[in-house]
Amino acid sequence: MPDLHRISIVLACLCLCFSAKAGKLTTGTVHSPKGVGVCFDYVCSPNLYNAYSLVADLYGVLDGSEKMPGIKANFSHCTRIAGWTKESGVINLFAGPGAGFGYVRDYDSEGHYGICTTLAGTFCARYAFDRGITIDIGVIMELGIFSSRRDGHIQTTLYKNGLYRSFIPQIKIIYCF
């Protein structure tokens, strides 16, 4: 049985290697009052891409109520819903589902860190310049749960920051290699 497990891992890695050659990997930065960080986009086709981001969650940091940011990872599977060609590039509107996971503080967590797990919806406008730079302006709406330890007990609640901060925009500056 262990040999079957190893074979399946090798086959999965080979499939990932071959699928990576079919698209284009881009990298960039994320800027928002919600958080700053890095992003990677895997462009499958002109109409489809997968977005991955790792950000420092700045809830409470910018207003000075907290000193340390949380950390959060997001994934979105985005499909083009409209597009226009301009002289210096292409403007596209994308939307799609996703998920997120992080070690953050929530709206009423009283400064306690906890684990958040979310389902997400992404909507963005992307302007791809002819020179290999893309500017992405969008929002990520999240619905999820937040679990933290308070008074020796684990409490699980609705992740309120995912709802309250959904419409705070983010700007991504993406470099295409």
Domains in the chain: ranges and CATH: 24-176 (2.40.160.20)
CA-wise closest residue to 147 among 122, 118, 176, 168:
118
Q: What are 52-106's pLDDT values in tens digits?
A: 999 999 888 888 778 889 999 999 999 999 999 988 889 999 999 999 999 998 8
Q: What confidence tier does 3 reach under pLDDT thresholds 50, 70, 90? A: low
**For residues 138 and 169, is the Cβ–Cβ distance under 8 A?**
yes
Residue type, 82: A
Residue type, 33: P
Q: Kindly state the tokens that stand for 22.
A: 């079919």
- Taking residues 154-169, what's their average pLDDT? 89
- Taking residues 145-159, what's their average pLDDT? 87
The model carries a pTM of: 0.79
Cα(72)–Cα(52) distance, integer angstroms:
11
In three-state secondary structure terms, 20 is helix
**For residues 174 and 136, is the Cβ–Cβ distance under 8 A?**
yes
Percent of the chain with pLDDT over 70: 86
Cα(148)–Cα(67) distance, integer angstroms:
18
Q: Which phi and psi angles does 170 have, rounded to 5°?
A: -130, 150
